[in-house]
Amino acid sequence: MLSGGALVGADRYQPASGTRGNALASEPPRSCESAPSGPFLVQFPSGARSAARRAAGTVQLAPLAVDSGEDDIQLPHNLRVTGDQARLSWVAYSKARGMDLSAARPGRSSEKNHGEYRPMSLLAGASRAFIARTTGAVLSYGVGLAVARALGPEDSGIYFLAIAAATMASVIGRLGLDQLLVRRVAAALGAGDQSAAAGTARAAMLITLVLSSVVSVCLFALAPVLGDQVFGLEGLTATLRLAALAVVPLSLLIVFGELLRGLSRPGESQLVQVALAPAATLIFLGLFVVILGPRPTSAVMAYAAGMSTAAFLGFALWRRATPWLADTKSSDESRNLARESIPFLGVALLTLALPSISIMALALAGDESGVGLFATAYRTATLTSFALIAINAAATPRFADLHARGDHQGLGRSARRVTLLTLACSLPPVILFWTLPDIVMGFFGPGFVVGGRCLAILATGQLVNVVTGSVSELLMMSGRERALRANLGGSVVLSLVLHAVLVPLYGLTGAAIASATTVATINLVSYGLVRHHLSINTLPLFKLRRTSRGSAADRPGGAGR
């Protein structure tokens, strides 16, 4: 609940003069159910928001629909109301005064800090994302298993190489909007600026649609060069051309998922990004393999059809979550969004380049089966960190909001909770991958058993990723994406050197060692950057001597990145 806020009819009530702080009204407060039909004004007390946003001061709430149920609907800053006015939209407004809202939740103290995210609130959002992520992990594992068993190590290597090319093209087509959308939408809605959120969403969809279409055409045109001249793998050209068809829907479904995450809907976000796509792909895979036969082109066609289906469903979920969007006027944010997204594009490309380097190195070495073995082992090893990704889906918008309001202590507490939760979820699969790697890889077929050592090595790198926590997200949500980009750039150089030395000597095992070392280095350096820039310790078992340094650059409106 929002302590000290006020909910009134704009034309019916004025508070007594001289009221201040949490005692905004001298008259007996009315319940939400007895409030006028709207519009409503909510005023935040002094100190409740950052100085940069305090000038706006209020949020206007206008009912969209009537809901006579008793379920709580959570609104910005943990405001909760019940009854007929449960479904509300909100836009930025100017100054207003009102009555005490604490009566809307009898028995709740008005002294609670509405800005702090409670453990149960984080757990509730993370649990929805975790369920969706778990479902998606099982389905993705099913897709990988079906592809491996249907195609074998060599042909599955062709498939995964084409998917890697489509994924790289999709990153370029999204222009690095992923994390920027979460930060901008969460911050805009946290400030009550619905118009800015709508403008960001529309601009992101337009940029993604246009740019990803251009990139898709380029990949289709370059397929013969990549397939015949660069890699020299038979059948890769046709597979790449089909993979180009997946670039646009893949880009759009990720954008829809990030927009939903900015709305603090982590469950639906993860459903779109990691569950719907593999579910649809698995269905189409069975259909196309039966009709066209087990070949890489059939699998990639199923992938493209699955991405298209998931993108359509993601758009439907986004429209359902934003009924106010059609009636909201917004400014053109395309130019600003494109300019701000460039640093994020660098981060996204470097992040994607890291696992792709191993695949490309093995492909250039002519090891087709090694590509399939590594891709399968890598996807399996990332099950170690899927809990971190799922919980980050719920935590990332909160990181952005907490940093925007200057609550560094709350930011640190939230980050340590994330690490503790993910570590508890990740230890069992790590132990399994260390002790029984050959058996795990054997599920994909007899030809994949030799990848057991690769799986154990990759799982070690993912464990470091989990132990250090949400360090990359903290850097991006606090405006430190340039520091993260520099870290990733150095890590890519390290990865290239390690692969150049180890792959010719040790093949698949060398690629696994290079990849795991790079992942561990990225996360350890990012942990140091978080400690340096934010004075936040993400490890739940240790405490900093000084909880927060809170430099001017870290405060809302602070300079320096």
User: What is the per-residue pLDDT across 508-533, written as a single tens digit (0 to 9) for each?
Assistant: 999 999 999 999 999 999 999 988 88
Local structure of 58: helix, strand or coil: strand
Average pLDDT in the chain: 73
Compute the distance between CA of residue 314 and CA of residue 492 in angstroms, rounded to an integer.
32
Tokens at 351, concatenated: 């992040």
Once rounded to an integer, what is the mean pLDDT over residues 449-478? Answer: 89
Phi, psi values for residue 8, rounded to 5°: -145, 165
Does residue 536 carry a pLDDT above 80? Answer: yes
DSSP annotation of 276 = I
Phi, psi values for residue 23, rounded to 5°: -90, 75
User: According to the model, what pLDDT value does residue 177 have?
Assistant: 82
Sheet arrangement for strand 40-43: 8-9, 40-43, 58-63, 88-93
Per-residue pLDDT band at 118 (split at 50, 70, 90): very low
Per-residue pLDDT band at 216 (split at 50, 70, 90): very high
More confident residue, 360 or 553: 360
More confident residue, 247 or 554: 247
More confident residue, 351 or 97: 351
Q: Count Cα neighbours of 180 within 13 Å in the Cβ-side half-sphere.
A: 25
Local structure of 9: helix, strand or coil: strand
Sequence-ordered list of residues with C-beta below 8 angstroms from that of 253, at least 6 positions apart, any chain: 272, 273, 276, 277, 307, 310, 311, 314
Compute the distance between CA of residue 402 and CA of residue 115 in angstroms, rounded to an integer.
7
User: According to the model, what pLDDT value does residue 296 have?
Assistant: 92
Does residue 174 carry a pLDDT above 60? Answer: yes
Q: For residue 271, what are the CA distances in angstroms to 153, 247, 274, 278, 318? A: 29, 19, 6, 10, 12
Which of 249-253, 354-358, 477-481, 531-535 tops mean pLDDT? 249-253
Residue 19 CB neighbour total at 10 angstroms? 14
Does residue 246 carry a pLDDT above 90? Answer: yes
Burial of 34 (0-12, 13-18, 19+ CB in 10 A): exposed
Does residue 81 carry a pLDDT above 80? Answer: no
Once rounded to an integer, what is the mean pLDDT over residues 396-410? Answer: 75
More confident residue, 300 or 475: 300
Does residue 134 carry a pLDDT above 70? Answer: yes
Per-residue pLDDT band at 458 (split at 50, 70, 90): very high
More confident residue, 223 or 133: 223
User: According to the model, what pLDDT value does residue 124 have?
Assistant: 59
Which of 4-18, 31-45, 101-115, 165-179 tops mean pLDDT? 165-179
The letter for the amino acid at 80 is R
Once rounded to an integer, what is the mean pLDDT over residues 78-90? Answer: 33
Query: 25-39, 146-160, 423-437 — which is least confidently predicted?
Result: 25-39
Once rounded to an integer, what is the mean pLDDT over residues 315-319? Answer: 89
Share of the chain above pLDDT 90, in %: 26
User: According to the model, what pLDDT value does residue 308 have?
Assistant: 95
Per-residue pLDDT band at 328 (split at 50, 70, 90): low
Sequence-ordered list of residues with C-beta below 8 angstroms from that of 451, at least 6 positions apart, any chain: 373, 374, 376, 377, 441, 508
More confident residue, 537 or 553: 537
Does residue 91 carry a pLDDT above 70? Answer: no
Does residue 82 carry a pLDDT above 50? Answer: no
DSSP annotation of 131 = H
Tokens at 549, concatenated: 């340094």
162 in Cβ contact with 236 (< 8 Å): yes
User: According to the model, what pLDDT value does residue 508 have?
Assistant: 92
